[in-house]
């Protein structure tokens, strides 16, 4: 049914896409992989390939900027101060946020328009907010469940897992506020909120 509706829109109608925003440890990777599998199974004759993109959003942007993809690991989803960005740019450590964030946003929009992608993080839900072909999902879970997941995935102690989750979520919230003037945890930016606990 979905494919028939998209086909009716003609070639200018973008294919479907999904964004997933999440609290760290809410099972985002498992949910994304499971969703991609379900969506792929619904494709007639494997007409399109569903792909999950997370860290690859930055890597693809770096390729477009003719920079090494190894820089992606130095670019967490967080806001850097202006002074930090200038010093890192002068030192050649990584491109400044006023260059990389708009380029990542362009990459996100292009991928969302192409469709058949599940875009995770990097403000993808804000960047594609006005695109009618994109479904926005927010994953949440109770703090004990999220800490337990992080602990298991990363092999950390309980205290380390709690600290990692809190720091990562704080960084992601700063990134959303600084670059999109929005609150990441606000369910109003999503079509559905799923409690994975």
* pLDDT tens sequence across 7-41: 444 456 779 999 999 999 999 999 999 999 999 99
| Mean pLDDT of all residues in 160-175 | 93
Residue 57: pLDDT over 80: no
| Mean pLDDT of all residues in 120-142 | 94
Q: What is the pLDDT of residue 187?
A: 77
Residue 193: pLDDT over 90: yes
Residue 123: name the closest of 31, 19, 30 by CA.
19
2 vs 91, more confident:
91
Question: CA-CA distances (angstroms) from residue 149 to 28, 39, 146, 153, 155?
Answer: 10, 25, 5, 6, 10
187 vs 38, more confident:
38
Residue 122: name the closest of 21, 12, 14 by CA.
21
Q: In a 10 Å sphere around its CB, with 0-12 CB exposed, 13-18 middle and 19+ buried, how is residue 120 labelled? A: buried
Residue 55: pLDDT over 90: no
Q: Tell me if 116 sits within 8 A of 50, measured CB to CB.
A: yes
Residue 113: name the closest of 17, 1, 19 by CA.
17
The span from the CA of 186 to the CA of 172, in Å, is 13
Q: What is the pLDDT of residue 93?
A: 56
To the question of pTM greater than 0.85 for the whole model, the response is no
* CB hemisphere CA count around 44 (13 angstroms): 5
**Gyration radius from the chain CA atoms:** 18
Which pLDDT band, with edges at 50, 70 and 90, does 82 fall under?
Answer: very low
């Amino acid at each position: 049914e979905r494919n028939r509706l998209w086909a009716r829109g003609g070639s200018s109608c973008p294919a479907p896409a999904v964004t997933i925003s999440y609290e760290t440890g809410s099972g985002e990777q498992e949910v994304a992989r499971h969703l991609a599998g379900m969506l792929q199974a619904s494709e007639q004759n494997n007409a399109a390939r569903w792909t999950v993109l997370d860290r690859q959003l930055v890597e693809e942007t770096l390729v477009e900027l003719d920079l090494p993809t190894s820089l992606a690991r130095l670019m967490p989803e967080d806001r850097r101060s202006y002074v930090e960005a200038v010093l890192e740019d002068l030192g050649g450590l990584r491109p400044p946020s006023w260059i990389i964030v708009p380029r990542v946003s362009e990459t996100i929009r292009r991928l969302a328009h192409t469709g058949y992608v599940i875009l995770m993080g990097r403000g993808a839900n804000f960047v594609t907010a006005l695109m009618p072909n994109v479904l926005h999902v927010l994953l949440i879970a109770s703090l004990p469940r999220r800490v337990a997941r992080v602990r298991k995935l990363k092999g950390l102690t309980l205290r380390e897992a709690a600290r990692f989750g809190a720091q990562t979520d704080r960084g992601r919230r700063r990134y959303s506020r600084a670059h999109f003037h929005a609150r990441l945890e606000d369910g109003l930016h999503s079509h559905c909120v799923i409690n994975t606990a």
